[in-house]
Structure 1
Amino acid sequence: MGPAPPAGDGVNATSLTVPLPGALQRLWLTMSTTLRAAIEMWTYNIGERLGQAWGRAAPQPRASLKGKVCIVTGAESGIGFATSHQLARMGAHVIIASRNTTRSMAAVEAISKSLQSSDVAASAAGDPAALPLGHAEFMELDLSSLKSVRSFAKKFNARGLPLHLLICNAGIMAPPARQASSDGLELQFQVNFLSHWLLTNMLLAEQRKAKRHTKTGQAEGSDDGDGHVAATLLQGGSRVVMLSSVLHRGGQLQYGDMQSERAYSPFASYAFSKLLNNVTAVELQRRINRNPIPGRSDSVVAVHPGIADTELSGGFFKSQGILWLWFLSLLLPLYNGLLAATKDVTLRTTNSAANTVLFASLAPSELVAGAYVVPDAAVTRHHRVHACRPR
C-alpha cells in the first residue's frame, strides 16, 4: 500500500488542531530515538550494498513449500511482492490480499510468468535440485475497513484451506495530516495494527478450532553446499509474521490517546502502530503458549525488514521533504536529487528485505516464536515491549 490511500477510497482525511507543546514533545521523543536507530540501519544497508557490489550477496532461502498456503497482505508491490514471489518459487500457494484489484492481478500475472520461465529453464537444464513451483492468486482485502477484514476472513475460512503462513505486510507510513478510516479510527492505527490483529485472530481461531495439520514436522530443505539457506516452515500449525519497523523504538503506548485525537504527529503515530505489532507478537504468542493444542505448533513473529527502496519509503521521504522545505522551494530540487543519488546505497533492495521476512517466516519456532527479527537475522525478545506494559 502507498503512504496514504487516495480520497474517496473508504478514507476520510481530517485536519486536526494539535496542541503545540504536546505535539513537539512527542515529535522530539520519536525523532531523537529513531534517528539513532535509522543511522544504525543505514550503516547496515551501506555495508550490505557494498557486499553485493563485491559479489558477497546474501544466500537465498531454499526450501520446498509444496502444498503450503500463505497469505501476504499488501503484496501487490514492494517487499510484499518480492516475498510472495519467493514463496511461490519455493512451491507455495500464495494469496495476495489487497484492496487494489488491478495492481494485485498484475502482480499475480507477473509471478505466474516468472514461474513459467523458471520452470522452462529448469526443465531445459535438467536440474534435479529444482524445487516444485507454486502459484499465486488474489483475494480482496481493504484494511481500512473492518467490514472488509471480516469478509475476507470468512471467505478464506469457508474454503477449508489450511493456513501455514500469514504475513501481515500491508501498511501506510506517516501521512502529514491525521486521517480517519471509514470506521472512524486513526488510519495508521487501523491499517498497520488493528485490522491485522482482527484478521490474525479470526484466521487463527478457525485453524485452531479445526485442528488442521499435516503429518510431518518441517519443510523439506537443507544447506546444499551452494550457500542456500536451510529453512523450516511450521506444519501442524500456523506462522504469523507481523511487519514492524526500527521506528518502533520511538513509539509510546498511548493509552490516553490511542487515536491521536489530542495530538497527532506522523512519526509518533507510525511508531506507535509498529510498536503495537511487536506487542501483538508477544501477546499472541503468550496466549498460544497458555492454550496449547495437541498436534499444533502455532507461532507469531515480528520483523523489521530494513529501510528498503519501496513506494512506502519513497512517498514518505518525498512528503517529509515537502513538509519541511516548502518555504525554501529552491532546496526541494536539491533534496529530491540527494534522495535519488543516495537511495541505491542507503536503502535495501526489496529482495534483500524479503529475505529477512522469509527468515522470520521459515525459521524454527523455538528460535523466533514471540521474538523480533532484524535484517542481520538477529533475534531479540522484545525488551522494549515488556518495559512498556501498563502500570
Structure 2
Amino acid sequence: MARNERLTLPDLGGRRVLVTGASDGIGLEIAARFAGAGAEVVVPVRNRDKGAAAVARITAQHPDASVLLEDLDLSSLESVSTLGERLRAGGTPIDVFVGNAGVMNPPERQTTRDGFELQFGTNHLGHVALVGALLPLLRVADGRVVMQSSVAAQRASIRWDDLQSEQDYDVARAYGQSKLACALFALELGRRSRTGGWGITSAVSHPGVAPTSLLAARPEIGRSGDTVAVRMIRWLSARGLLVGTPASAAEPALLAATDTDLDGGFVGPTGPGQLGGPAGRRKPWAPLLRDDDAARLWDVSESLVGSAVS
C-alpha cells in the first residue's frame, strides 16, 4: 500500500465510536475516517475550542457525519467519571473505543489532579477509568477496545518499585512505561472478557512516527518550543522518508478497530523499524508478552483509580 492509499473501512452506519484525543493529529484523522464510514463518532476533548474546530473539519469533509462533542480531561478521574455517567445515562451502546489521547515528555515531572505521574496517569490510568465507566455500553454492543501504544514501548518495562517515577524521573522511560501499560491493559481486557463472557474484544495498535503535537511546543506542560525531534520528523514526513503522516499513522488503529479476526492482536506500520508504511498485523514486542505483568497491572490500576473494571 503506497503512502496515499487508505484502508477500505466497512459500512459503520448505526455504530457508535468513541475516540479520545481526536481534537488534532492522528486522533482527528481516526475520527474523520470513522465518520466517513457512517459511524456516529463521540469526540471527548479537554480543550472545547479545539474540539469544536475538529468537529467542524470532520463535518466539512463529511457533511452527513454525526459527531458528538463531549468534555473530558483524562488527567482528572472526576472528569472521567462525569463523562461516563453522562454517556451511560444516554444508554447508547459503544461499538468501538479507541484510546488514542496522550501526553508525551513533559520536561519536568508533573502530576495529574489525582497525584499520579502525568504520563502514566493520563495515558494509562485515565483510559482504564474511562473504559471501566463505559464497560456496560461496550458489553451490550459486544464492542471492540483499541489502545494506542507507541514504539517507545518496544523496550519499556513496568517499574513496580517506582510506578509514579517519584524516586527517579526519566522522561522517556516514564513515557515508555505509560504506553506499555496501555497495551498490557488492552490485552488483559481481552483475556478477562473471554474468560468472563463479557463479549468485548480488544487489540493494540501503534501509529509509528508522524508529525503531531506530541513533541511540538506545549506550554501547558512546560515545553515552550518545538523539540528537535519533531522538527526532524516533519522534515522526513514532508519528503516521504521513513516516517508517516497523521493520515497514514491513523491506519493501524483503524485496522485494529475493524478487523473482526483481530481479538488480542497487535497492529502497526510495516515499514522499516515500524516507523511508517502500510498498516498490518505485527508480531508483539517482548514486553507485550508478559501476561503476569498485565494481570498485576490490571489489579494495581483498579486500586489506583478506585473502581473495578468488570
**Structure 1 length as normaliser, TM-score?**
0.66
Paired residues for 1:1-391 under 5 Å: 51-52=2-3, 57-116=4-63, 133-208=64-139, 212-213=140-141, 237-293=142-198, 297-315=199-217, 341-344=235-238, 345-364=241-260, 366=261, 368-376=262-270, 377-381=280-284, 383-387=286-290, 389=292
**What CA distance in whole angstroms lies between the structure 2 residues aligned with 1:159 and 1:339?**
41
RMSD: 2.6
Structure 1 residues 112 and 281: alpha-carbon distance in aligned structure 2, compared to 1, 3 A threshold: same
Match of 1:223 in 2: none
Structure 1 residues 338 and 309: alpha-carbon distance in aligned structure 2, compared to 1, 3 A threshold: closer
1:83 to partner: Cα distance: 0.6
**What CA distance in whole angstroms lies between the structure 1 residues aligned with 2:119 and 2:183?**
15
SS at match of 2:73: coil
Give the letter aligned to residue 162 of structure 1.
Answer: P
**What CA distance in whole angstroms lies between the structure 2 residues aligned with 1:336 and 1:80?**
17
Q: What are structure 1's unaligned runs of at least 5 residues?
A: 1-47, 117-132, 214-236, 324-331
**What CA distance in whole angstroms lies between the structure 2 residues aligned with 1:338 and 1:66?**
39
Q: Contact 1:371 / 1:382 at 8 angstroms: preserved in 2?
A: no
SS at match of 1:137: strand
**What CA distance in whole angstroms lies between the structure 1 residues aligned with 2:22 and 2:231?**
29
**What CA distance in whole angstroms lies between the structure 1 residues aligned with 2:284 and 2:264?**
7
1:143 to partner: Cα distance: 0.4
Q: Contact 1:253 / 1:388 at 8 angstroms: preserved in 2?
A: no
**What CA distance in whole angstroms lies between the structure 2 residues aligned with 1:285 and 1:96?**
24
**What CA distance in whole angstroms lies between the structure 1 residues aligned with 2:174 and 2:20?**
21
Give the letter aligned to residue 72 of structure 1.
Answer: V
1:62 to partner: Cα distance: 3.0
Q: Contact 2:105 / 2:215 at 8 angstroms: preserved in 1?
A: no
**What CA distance in whole angstroms lies between the structure 1 residues aligned with 2:248 and 2:226?**
29
1:340 to partner: Cα distance: 5.1
**What CA distance in whole angstroms lies between the structure 2 residues aligned with 1:198 and 1:182?**
14
1:320 to partner: Cα distance: 11
**What CA distance in whole angstroms lies between the structure 2 residues aligned with 1:315 and 1:260?**
23
SS at match of 1:153: helix
Match of 2:275 in 1: none
SS at match of 2:203: strand
* Worse-superposed segment, 160-169 or 368-377: 368-377
Give the letter aligned to residue 282 of structure 1.
Answer: L
Structure 1 residues 163 and 261: alpha-carbon distance in aligned structure 2, compared to 1, 3 A threshold: same
**What CA distance in whole angstroms lies between the structure 1 residues aligned with 2:233 and 2:137?**
45
Give the letter aligned to residue 121 of structure 2.
Answer: Q
**What CA distance in whole angstroms lies between the structure 2 residues aligned with 1:70 and 1:195?**
18
SS at match of 2:83: helix
Give the letter aligned to residue 357 of structure 1.
Answer: A
Match of 1:44 in 2: none
SS at match of 1:177: coil
Question: Percent identity over the alignment?
Answer: 32
Structure 1 residues 382 and 369: alpha-carbon distance in aligned structure 2, compared to 1, 3 A threshold: farther
SS at match of 1:179: coil
Q: Contact 1:72 / 1:166 at 8 angstroms: preserved in 2?
A: yes
Q: What are structure 2's unaligned runs of at least 5 residues?
A: 271-279, 297-310
Match of 1:125 in 2: none
Give the letter aligned to residue 182 of structure 1.
Answer: R
Q: Contact 2:217 / 2:226 at 8 angstroms: preserved in 1?
A: no
Give the letter aligned to residue 270 of structure 1.
Answer: Y
Cα deviation code 1:224-245 (max 9, x no counterpart)? xxxxxxxxxxxxx101110100
Q: Contact 1:66 / 1:134 at 8 angstroms: preserved in 2?
A: no
Q: Contact 2:205 / 2:253 at 8 angstroms: preserved in 1?
A: yes
From the CA coordinates, give the structure whose radius of gyration is larger.
1
Q: Contact 1:164 / 1:239 at 8 angstroms: preserved in 2?
A: yes
Structure 1 residues 383 and 322: alpha-carbon distance in aligned structure 2, compared to 1, 3 A threshold: closer
Q: Contact 1:307 / 1:313 at 8 angstroms: preserved in 2?
A: no
Give the letter aligned to residue 113 of structure 2.
Answer: S
